[in-house]
Amino acid sequence: MNLKKTIEDFSPINKQEIKDKEMFLYYLNNFDDVLTRNNEIVHFTSSAFVLNKTRDKVLMIYHNIYNSWGWTGGHADGDSDLLQVALREVTEETGVNNVKPIISDIFIIDTLSVLGHEKKGKYIPAHIHLSVAYLFETDETETLLIKEDENSNVKWIPIEQVVGHSTEPHMKIVYEKIINKIKSI
């Protein structure tokens, strides 16, 4: 999987994504190891916005670190196939197994600031996530499981209530962008 080509082929939908795409390519060309957390300044993450089959609900988790409802996702940890990273994270964080991409291309991109925080007894300094997100679908009747070291709840939220469930102002903007893009396709 050629991540640089994948980012080059991505079609931005607004000014923010145009600029973020430029920055993603800059970091890929000029920084070492942007696929692992060894780069403590900036690294890739991959997330999943998971819809039910009728596409009126979103599968969300309650993140322990951020104290907010949000999408599933995680660090690339050396894997340049970010679609597979997003898929793996959905399964790990929700217990859902039968997940499929609605679109196999990157759906949105964002440069996300992460505040310093503690995880598993270790302090993680502030850094930047080069966030790519994919759009997935699964059956709403699948059994849901909580991954207790990362989240404290998993549930289906009506798509029109997703933004209101987030307590993170910057993520509200991201979720609004995703929902508006979904409505346009």
d(CA 55, CA 20) in angstroms, rounded, equals 28
Helix, strand, coil % (nearest 5) of the chain?
Answer: 30, 35, 30
**CA-CA distances (angstroms) from residue 87 to 20, 47, 104, 138, 184?**
23, 8, 11, 11, 24
Residue 1's pLDDT band (boundaries 50, 70, 90)? low
Residue 160's pLDDT band (boundaries 50, 70, 90)? very high
Please state, for a pLDDT cut of 90, what percent of the chain lies above it: 92
List the domains of the chain with CATH numbers: 3-55+71-145 (3.90.79.10)
DSSP-based three-state secondary structure for 47:
strand
Alpha helices (runs of H) in 122-168, residue ranges in sequence order = 162-165
Torsion of CA 84, 85, 89, 95, to 10 degrees: 20
Is the pLDDT score of 84 beyond 70?
Answer: yes
d(CA 107, CA 5) in angstroms, rounded, equals 15
How many angstroms separate the first and last alpha carbons of the chain? 26
